[in-house]
Amino acid sequence: MTTINEIINFFETFAPQESAMDFDNVGLLVGDKNTAVTKVLVSLDITKDVVLEAEKMGCELIISHHPVIFNPIKRLDSNSVSYMLISRKISALCMHTNLDLSEIFGVNTCLAKAIGVKNAVRADSGECLFIGSLETETDISAFAESVKKALNCSGLRYTDIKKTVKTIAVSSGAGGSDIFDAAKIGADVLVTGEIKHHEINAANELGIDIVDAGHFKSEDIVILPLINKLSESFKDINFTKSESYSDNIKFI
């Protein structure tokens, strides 16, 4: 029977924990690596609802992108997610910036593929910045619409400084700070999940467009491909995407 440690070793082949950024907290954050698993729930985040969903399904493990424990814990309240995991004997394996940075398979490679960006590689500058290109130059409004469709967004924000785009930079999640490096390496547009007001102003001055698809939508795109990848390697385990987790953002 497959153990959590075997799944950890599998992740090491394409998103090694040592490649995570210094501030991060990745790996097995709750549980015992020698635990045998038959059912795994995969989610972008681990919330109370996700823990209850995993318990109902009989999962021994939850794999998430965002760490369930990030800052030091000073008190373990019975209503906290970490306590819920421990009390229900559900382990938590969290792969964050190591999965963002992976060129073999990761959040940004999945994001790039989903929106039609070819030959995406990690840029020399920028923390999680990847760059590639579309097959043909495209009107920015049409490109933004295609991103909205590909990521199943209810809405998104974009600018139309350049009008047409071909060289595409992607930096999933809170990647707005990569706008400066994206401009330096000649990107026509940066696709990200969060960008601040002053960074939008800078993008306008630098002559680079932005597409802000939302943090959740820009990263959740990795979950189903990750499930497929895990399922191919561990045929004795049932991997399932969480149905309970969403950022609950609505557009009017």
pLDDT-wise least confident of 69-73, 214-218, 239-243 = 69-73
Please report which confidence band the pLDDT of residue 124 belongs to, taking 50, 70 and 90 as the band edges.
Answer: confident
Whether pLDDT at 155 is above 90: yes
244 CB neighbour count, 10 Å cutoff: 15
What mean pLDDT do residues 226-250 have?
A: 97
- Per residue in 19-31, pLDDT (tens digit) is 999 999 999 999 9
Angstrom CA distances, 232 to 105, 147, 228, stand at 14, 28, 6
Residue-wise DSSP of 6-40? HHHHHHHTTS-GGGS-TT---EEEES-TT-B-SEE
- Going from the N-terminus, what domains does the chain have, and what CATH number goes with each? 4-95+222-241 (3.40.1390.30), 107-219 (3.40.1390.30)
Q: Look up residue 88 and give its DSSP letter.
A: T
Question: What pLDDT shows up at residue 126?
Answer: 66
Whether pLDDT at 82 is above 70: yes
The torsion angle over the Cα atoms of residues 59, 62, 13 and 187, rounded to 10 degrees, is: 140
Question: What pLDDT shows up at residue 238?
Answer: 98
CA 20-126-93 angle, to 5 degrees, is 20
CA distance linking residue 199 with residue 222, whole number of Å: 26
Question: What pLDDT shows up at residue 163?
Answer: 87
Nearest to 203 by CA among 173, 138, 158, 148: 158
pLDDT, mean over the chain = 97
Question: What pLDDT shows up at residue 127?
Answer: 79
